[in-house]
Amino acid sequence: MSECDALFVLKVLCCLLLTCHAVDGRKMRGHPADVAVLGDKTVPVKAKEPHISSSVFRLLVAREDTCTLEPPQLHGLSSCGFNATNPLIIITHGWSMDGMMENWVIRLASVLKTHLRDVNVVITDWLSLAHQHYPKAAHSTRLVGKDIAHLLSSLKEHYDYSFQKVHLIGYSLGAHISGFAGSHFKGRDQIGRITGLDPAGPLFEGMSPTDRLSPDDAEFVDAVHTFTHERLGLSVGIKQAVAHYDFYPNGGDFQPGCHLHNIYEHVSQYGLLGFGQTVKCAHERSVHLFIDSVLNEDRPIRAYRCSDNRAFNKGVCLDCRRNRCNTLGYNIKKVRTGKRNKRLYLQTRSRMPYKLYHYQLRIQFEQPMQSTTPSLSISLTGTKEESGAIPLAFTEQVLGNKMYTFLITMDKHLGDLMLLKFHWEGSALWKDVWNRVQTIMTWGGRDTKPLLTVNKISVKDGDTQERTSFCAMTNDERHVEMSKVKVFVRCQQEPGMKHKKRTHT
């Protein structure tokens, strides 16, 4: 990227961040005739009406070879190898800073082609319009959507091609393009699916459903939000839910391994090169998560419905009943039930395979003594793997009878859970407190050591939805002592039956 480009994009960004919030796309210079028609996006598209496409469509032939389709006559469609019995996936890129097709486009296309085999994969090339000021590129999205709609209409006309078999995958601005394309078809003619990969935020956030990707645009719409970190009221990826299922990996605002905290330093230090790299990382993560879902379909990436990411990280949302969980990516369960805009959360690794296995730990203590915030850690042993020490961060004072829930993530599945070890880190401070407490009161006159008593403890496996309760071998083993490891095993019977209330006699 030249310095001049960098300056240019910086200017665009400044404009976006400071002044362009309220830009009405229609005021932009450009295609007044188109705009008049495009203002109403429900205008049906007829294949016959003369349409000059500003986009180029390329059908993937072999691994990385493409063959250009030329609507409206679609010359070369069959000779390119288009097979009308097979489904069609159209991949649409986003805003372009350098006018080049980004590497992920051909990668996603060839992964889909290689793994799904009986599928037509088409790439929308709208670089000539995408390589503009962001607001101008954003304004072109309706036009490009219309190009895609025309391509689809031509397919219907030539092959009686069913829109059911169409899946549009759009990244960033491409997500909204896909939405605009889909909005041309209603009712029984609705297209099958749209996937928005980190749909663009600026100029789309908060807009009405007809002015952005929305669940109305296809029979089934899913979206993956990976870079919604907000700065001055704007974020690169759209924050609001725009689909039937909206996935927010790692909360959606930034992604592990992307070092977001450096982004603004990067810009001032390295210019746009720094910005581009950092932005792309989290923004583009949505694409790589999707690629991962095709490459590793035997290990589906589960996400869980939750009110927000904070609640998710507390481990309260690992429930799959009534479609509360779903699979991120290509193999999503296409069920549409009840409320729209289901927000789903998950944590991921920083590299492919991104999947993390989620576990929910639930623990309840008996009221031991004075309330405290102990530094506890556990480790889990399953039939396949061991977890290693997992610290439990208590954010509040521990009280008896209250159920505490924690989210635990593992990059391997542990198998059937067999054993849970409990460790209470002895903190000097705490020992000191304890000693003082002990001198004040003596419990039943016994030489008591500091201890916490576990009443109930169980772990739920998010993937299998199985909950395992753990029991102490003996009643005394329930007392977790400072600086000692206590072992709990899988309960033989229902928990709660075995444990009677502890009495100090």
Ligand X SMILES: *[C@@H]1O[C@H](CO)[C@@H](O)[C@H](O)[C@H]1NC(C)=O
CB of residue 12 vs ligand X: minimum separation in angstroms? 45
Nearer to ligand X, 162 or 240 (CB): 162
Q: What are phi and psi of 501, to 5 degrees?
A: -60, 135
CB of residue 87 vs ligand X: minimum separation in angstroms? 9
CB of residue 163 vs ligand X: minimum separation in angstroms? 18
CB of residue 197 vs ligand X: minimum separation in angstroms? 26
Q: Is 483 left (phi over 0), alpha (psi -120 to 50) or beta?
A: left
Is residue 164 involved in binding ligand X (CB under 6 A)? no
Pair 59, 84: CB distance under 8 Å: no
What's the CA gap between 274 and 277, in Å, rounded?
A: 5
Is residue 494 involved in binding ligand X (CB under 6 A)? no
Burial status of residue 400 (CB atoms within 10 A of its CB: 0-12, 13-18, 19 or more): middle
Is residue 118 involved in binding ligand X (CB under 6 A)? yes
Element (H, E) at 422: strand 417-424
CB of residue 80 vs ligand X: minimum separation in angstroms? 12
What's the CA gap between 6 and 13, in Å, rounded?
A: 10
Residue closest to 289 by CA, chosen among 347, 237, 238: 347
Nearer to ligand X, 120 or 226 (CB): 120
Nearer to ligand X, 118 or 160 (CB): 118
Find out whether the peptide bond into 72 is cis, omega within 30 degrees of 0: yes
Annotated binding-site positions: 212, 217
What's the CA gap between 1 and 276, in Å, rounded?
A: 10
Annotated binding-site positions for Ca(2+): 212, 217
At residue 230, what is the residue type? E
Q: Token digits for 19?
A: 């002044």
- Which one of 2, 19, 79, 85 is in contact with ligand X (CB under 6 A)? 85
Contact region with ligand X (CB under 6 A), list: 81-89, 189-197, 337-345, 391-399 = 81-89
Q: How many residues bind ligand X (CB under 6 A)?
A: 4
Is residue 79 involved in binding ligand X (CB under 6 A)? no
Pair 365, 501: CB distance under 8 Å: no
Report strand pairing: 56-60 vs 66-69: antiparallel
- Which one of 83, 128, 262, 465 is in contact with ligand X (CB under 6 A)? 83
Is residue 73 involved in binding ligand X (CB under 6 A)? no
CB of residue 79 vs ligand X: minimum separation in angstroms? 11
Nearer to ligand X, 86 or 323 (CB): 86
What's the CA gap between 221 and 245, in Å, rounded?
A: 7
Helices and strands (DSSP H and E) totals, the chain: 11, 20
Q: Which residues are catalytically annotated?
A: 172, 198, 283
Nearer to ligand X, 83 or 128 (CB): 83
- Which one of 21, 56, 86, 207 is in contact with ligand X (CB under 6 A)? 86
Pair 394, 376: CB distance under 8 Å: yes
DSSP 70: B
What's the CA gap between 460 and 319, in Å, rounded?
A: 9
What's the CA gap between 361 and 375, in Å, rounded?
A: 16
Q: Is 388 left (phi over 0), alpha (psi -120 to 50) or beta?
A: left
Contact region with ligand X (CB under 6 A), list: 45-53, 83-91, 175-183, 279-287 = 83-91
Chain CA centroid to CA 266, Å: 25
Nearer to ligand X, 192 or 382 (CB): 192
Pair 146, 45: CB distance under 8 Å: yes
What's the CA gap between 183 and 194, in Å, rounded?
A: 11
CB of residue 336 vs ligand X: minimum separation in angstroms? 27
Which positions touch ligand X (CB under 6 A)? 83, 85-86, 118
